Structure 1
Amino acid sequence: MSRARIRLATAAAVAALTVAAAPSAAALPAAAPAAAATPAAGGRAPHGLRPQAPVIRQIVLQGAVNVRDVGGYRTYTGGQVRQGLVYRSDGLGKLTPADVGTVAGLGLTKAVDFRVPVEVQYDGADRLPPGLPATSRPVSDLGLYTTLLTAIGSGDPVRQEEMLGGGRAESYMRDIYRTFVSSPENRAQFAATLREIADGRQGPLLYHCTSGKDRTGWMSYVLLRALGVPEQSAGADYLASNTFRGAYDAQVRAALKQSGRMQDPDLLIPLQEVRQDYLDAATARMEADYGSFYGYLTKGLGLDLGTLAALQSKMVR
C-alpha cells in the first residue's frame, strides 16, 4: 500500500473515532430519561419553585449523533431557557441529504465551526443547507487530532500504550480543558459566539466541533451558566454526551480492534468520553485565574453587563 493510501486510511480511522460517520437511525441513542438533566441537581429552586426535569431535545440525524437543542432548562429565578434558538452538535461533514433537509428546518442563520484546520482537512467541510455558510472559529485541541492520527496510524500496540496509556490520555484531556480558559485565542472564540447569541438581530445559531463534546461541551456549559441555569444542571448537559455518543463510540473501538489497527482500543475511551474531572480542570483554572464564574465572563471573555443582559433577555422566558 502506498504511503498516501496509508495516510488516508489512518485519517479515516480517526474520523470514525471522533465523528459520527452516518450510523443508522436505529443505532442512535434515544433522548429519553437517561439523557435528561435535572435542574434539581443544582440545588433547591427559590421561591418555592418545584424543580422540573427537562428531556434533552435531540435532533435525530443519520450523519451525526450528538445534535441537541440547548434550551429547556430552568434557571435559578424560575425562568426557562428558550428552545429553537441555539443548537450544539458534533461534526456535520457526514450529513445525508435528508439530514441537510432536517437542519434546514431548524431555520439556522449561523453555523459556527470550532474545529482546527487539520480536522476540516481530513473530516471534510460541513454539509449545510444552501445559503448557510460555515463560520470557522477554531479552538485549539492541543494537537489531539494529530496525536490520534499518529497513534492509530502506527498500528504499534507498544507505541499506542506509550502515547495513551498509564493515565496519559486523561492528563491530555485535562490540559485541553484548561486551555479553554487560559488561552486568549480560545477565549476570544467563545466570547464571539456568546456575543452573537446575545444579539437580538441574530437568528437561530448552531455551534459544533468534531465530537460535539469538549469544545462544544464547554461552550454549552458556559452559556447555560451565564443564563442562570444551576451549575449541576449545566454539568448534566455536558455529561449527556456520553449517552448520545456511547453506543457509536463502542462500535468504533470494536472496528479498530477487528481491523488490527489497535490491540487495545480501550486506550481511546478517555478521549471518547466526557468526564467530570475534565470539566473540573477547566472550572478550577477559571477560578484560579478569575476568581469566579462572573469574573471569567467579564474579565476572561470581556462580556459587558449590556451583553449579559441581552443574553438573558433573548434566551430566557
Structure 2
Amino acid sequence: MTATGAPPMATAEPTVESVAARIELQGAVNVRDIGGYRTYDGAKVKSGKAIRSDSLEKLTDSDVQKLGGLNLKAVVDLRTPAEVQFMGADKVPAGVQTVARPIDDTGLFQQMMAAIQSRDPQKQEQLLGNGKAEEIMGRVYTSFLSADSRAKFGQTIRDLAATDRATLYHCTSGKDRTGWLTYVVLRAVGVPESTARQDYLLSNQYRAAADAKLRDQVKQAGLMQNPDLLIPLQEVRDQYLDTAIDAMEQAYGDFGKFLTQGLGLDGGTLVQLRKNLVS
C-alpha cells in the first residue's frame, strides 16, 4: 500500500534491473538515475532528477565531464568527516553546488578499517565473525531513525522537491545511507514497496566486482587471512532494510506518518516532490 492507501496495479512490470539507468563511470561503480520506475497509478518516475551514487573522489576527468552533462544542481555528500578525510573530497563538475551533510554510520567505516589494519586474524574474527558484522549493520540501519539522521534525510528530500534540475546524493559505497534514502524517496512518490526494495538490492550486483577486488587486495597485502569476513559489511540485505523499516513502524506506525512526523515533510513538500519527480 502507498501512504495514500492506493492498491497496487495488477500489471506485469519490467524487471527493476532493466529499468534502472546505470550511469557508467570509471571512478565509481554504483551510480544510477532512479528514474523509470512505475508508480501505483501508472505514472513514471522522471529521469534526470535524482541520481544515487557511491563516493566521487576517484572520478576521472572524463567521468567529471560526463556528470557535467547531467544538468546537476547539487551533489549531496552523506559521508562522515572521517570517511572524507580518508578517501578524499568529491570531484564534481564546475558550477555544481557541493553540500556536506554527514549522516552518522555508527562507526562502520572506522570499525572496518580498524579490523583490516589490525592484521590480526583472531581479532578480525572476534570483531566480524559469528554474526558480529551483521550486528554492526543492524546498528547502522537502526541509526537511520535517530533525530540527526532523520533531519538530514528529510532535508535532502526537500532539496529533491525544490529544484527542477538534477540532484546527486551519495555516501561511501552508495548502498546503505544512499539506499535507505532512495527507498524512502521512491515510496514517497508512489513506487510500490517491492520495487523500491529491489532497487535497494541492486547495489549487490553493481558493487560485486569492486567488493571482490577489495577482498582480494587485503588478502594479497597480508592484511586478512579471511577477507570473506567483510562480506556482510559490503552487501545490502533484506534483513538490513527490514531493521530500519521495523524501527520506523515501531516509532511512527506507518510510512505516511514517518514522512510527516519523522522526516518533517509537510503535505505541500510531498506534493511538490511528486510533481518534480513523477510524470
Q: Normalization by structure 2: what TM-score?
A: 0.95
Residue 127 of structure 2 aligns to a residue whose secondary structure is: helix
Cα distance in 2, alignment partners of residues 66 and 212 from structure 1: 6
Offset of 1:50 from its aligned partner? 4.2
Partner of 2:155: 192
Cα distance in 2, alignment partners of residues 185 and 226 from structure 1: 20
* 1:90 maps to 2:62: no
Cα distance in 1, alignment partners of residues 201 and 275 from structure 2: 27
Partner of 1:25: none
Identity %: 52
* 1:223 maps to 2:185: yes
Trace 1:139-218 onto structure 2 (pairs within 5 A).
Answer: 139-181=103-145, 183-199=146-162, 201-218=163-180
Offset of 1:257 from its aligned partner? 0.8
Offset of 1:52 from its aligned partner? 3.5
**1:222-274 deviations in whole A, cap 9, x for unaligned?**
00000100001000000000000001111111111111100000000000000
Confirm or deny: 8 A CA contact 1:94 1:127 kept in the other structure: yes
Partner of 1:109: 73
Residue 109 of structure 1 aligns to a residue whose secondary structure is: strand
Q: State the superposition RMSD in angstroms.
A: 1.3
Residue 110 of structure 1 aligns to a residue whose secondary structure is: strand
Confirm or deny: 8 A CA contact 2:74 2:168 kept in the other structure: yes
Gap change, CA 1:300 and 1:45, over 3 Å in 2: closer
Partner of 1:73: 37
* 1:99 maps to 2:66: no
Q: Normalization by structure 1: what TM-score?
A: 0.84
Q: For 2:222, which of 256, 260, 264 is the aligned residue?
A: 260
Cα distance in 1, alignment partners of residues 14 and 131 from structure 2: 38
Cα distance in 2, alignment partners of residues 233 and 227 from structure 1: 12
Gap change, CA 1:50 and 1:257, over 3 Å in 2: closer
Amino acid corresponding to residue 138 of structure 2 in structure 1: R
Offset of 1:146 from its aligned partner? 1.2
**1:101-145 deviations in whole A, cap 9, x for unaligned?**
011011100000000000000100000111223200000000111
Partner of 1:26: none
Confirm or deny: 8 A CA contact 2:8 2:192 kept in the other structure: no
Cα distance in 1, alignment partners of residues 199 and 130 from structure 2: 29
Amino acid corresponding to residue 204 of structure 1 in structure 2: A
Offset of 1:49 from its aligned partner? 4.4
Confirm or deny: 8 A CA contact 1:196 1:202 kept in the other structure: no
Deviating runs (4+, > 4 A) in structure 1? Answer: none
Partner of 2:25: 61
Q: For 2:195, which of 217, 225, 233 is the aligned residue?
A: 233
* 1:133 maps to 2:97: yes
Q: For 2:212, which of 226, 250, 253 is the aligned residue?
A: 250
Q: For 2:237, which of 270, 275, 291 is the aligned residue?
A: 275
Amino acid corresponding to residue 238 of structure 1 in structure 2: Y
Confirm or deny: 8 A CA contact 2:75 2:98 kept in the other structure: yes
Cα distance in 1, alignment partners of residues 88 and 130 from structure 2: 32
Gap change, CA 1:261 and 1:228, over 3 Å in 2: same
Partner of 1:52: 14
Offset of 1:44 from its aligned partner? 8.1
Amino acid corresponding to residue 265 of structure 1 in structure 2: P
Structure 2 runs not aligned, ≥5 long: 1-5
Amino acid corresponding to residue 143 of structure 1 in structure 2: G
Residue 268 of structure 1 aligns to a residue whose secondary structure is: helix
Residue 142 of structure 1 aligns to a residue whose secondary structure is: coil
Offset of 1:149 from its aligned partner? 2.1
Confirm or deny: 8 A CA contact 1:62 1:96 kept in the other structure: yes
